[in-house]
Copies of this chain bind each other. A is one copy, B any other.
Amino acid sequence: MLDASSTLSSSGYNHPALLKLMTNPNNLSTFVNRPALGILPPENFPDKLTESLLSIAPSGMSRVQTMACGSCSNENAYKAMFIWYRNKERGQSGPSAEDISSCMVNQGPGCPDLSILSFTGAFHGRTLGCLATTHSKVIHKLDVPSFDWPIAPFPRLQYPLEEFSRENAQEEARCLEEVEDLIVKWRQKGKPVAGIVIEPIQAEGGDNHASADFFIRLRRIAAKHGCAFHVDEVQTGGGCTGKFWAHEHWGSDDPADIVSFSKKLLTGGYYHKEALQADKPYRIFNTWMGDPSKNLFLCEVLNVIRRENLLEEVARSGKALINGLYELQAQYPGLLSRARGQGTFCAIDVRDDATRDKILVKTRDKGVILGGCGDRSIRFRPALVFKEYHVHLFLNIFNDVLTQFK
């Protein structure tokens, strides 16, 4: 099988470097003894963090908090933004007696009516806090109580981006204007926006891209209104866009206040600026807070990425993939459209969802695992070792399948 989905954009399989790591007896205790990381971390944990997560920290961020999965990462990142926002409001004074008594019974001002601004089509996870910022599919949201938080339109761009730059810039400006309006409106409603959360490429919601300019302006709007800016790289992080973080494509040295991750990083967690550090222990806390054994794997994964220049490989494979998709959509104009991508993080739309689903099955029967996203998109999420010859192998098989749908 040729895997162009890699367990929902997570990691690959059976890499010899990881198998070797497992046979080193010095590593045994890291697997067998799972600590309560927040209170009893293993002695070598700071070193391992420096070697792994901190060695790939986004620009401007020197702190990282590990978590067990993507949802917990975002939930805790939201909490960090709420705590930061309220501390900012309080200034030097600590919580009031009313804060303390009201929070124990879920009421304000202790449990304040703060909000997180998210975007239509966004996906940030399925636990109750995350889910209030997820708007990709009905199946995720139906029947679950939620928060009245603002939802701004994510730009709906035309592809290829460079061919529609004027129209796309207009669409992005419209969305940014709406963001500012919502921030003002929710402040007036008594539910101020503590943070804005966004994916650098909306993944689950259908592989929706926006320009570097859009994200940089959005980040400025957040700062202007005193909101934290959280970039969710759970699906985009780890190298699949051709850079380690998708936000690096923006070329900003101050891209965000918080960056969350999981999947390809093997452990969940989030980076944050100094200011977003909770002011007291146990405010951001749980029993496990991640798993040092995943960190051990990550060290080795990073070694392999560096040694084998995998980010360059991804850029090369990604170029071959997107060019192949452009050719196919020219060849099958009624069937395929909107080919788009960054690195191997690519997608293409099919004329309707029923046809998309049939194509996914037929391609699988010919030995290629693909994934769907959005209403009628196919998404490509291969592992970093997906080389140019894998791309050509895939394109041939895909073409064979498409001829049946002409």
Contact = CB atoms under 8 A, between A and B. Distances in A.
Contact of A69 (B87, B114, B115, B287): B287
Contact of A151 (B15, B106, B126, B282): B106
Contact of A106 (B8, B33, B143, B148): B148
B34 A86 contact: no
A149 interface: yes
How many copies of this chain are found per oligomer?
Answer: 2
Nearest to A235: B287
A68 B68 CA distance: 7
B145 A82 contact: yes
B72 A71 contact: yes
Interface residues of A, number: 82
B10 A34 contact: yes
B72 A72 contact: yes
Given A82-B144, A82-B145, A14 B36 contact: no
B140 A287 contact: no
A263 B287 contact: yes
A14 B19 CA distance: 21
Contacts of A125: 286
A404 B14 CA distance: 57
A245 to B, nearest CB: 19
Interface in A136-183: 137-149, 151
Contact of A105 (B15, B111, B151): B151
A7 B115 CA distance: 34
Given A85-B143, A110-B141, 12 more contacts: A8-B39, A10-B36, A14-B32, A69-B288, A79-B144, A86-B142, A104-B135, A104-B141, A127-B128, A139-B283, A140-B283, A263-B287
11 contacts: A10-B288, A13-B33, A32-B297, A95-B138, A103-B138, A106-B132, A110-B141, A111-B144, A126-B285, A128-B132, A139-B282
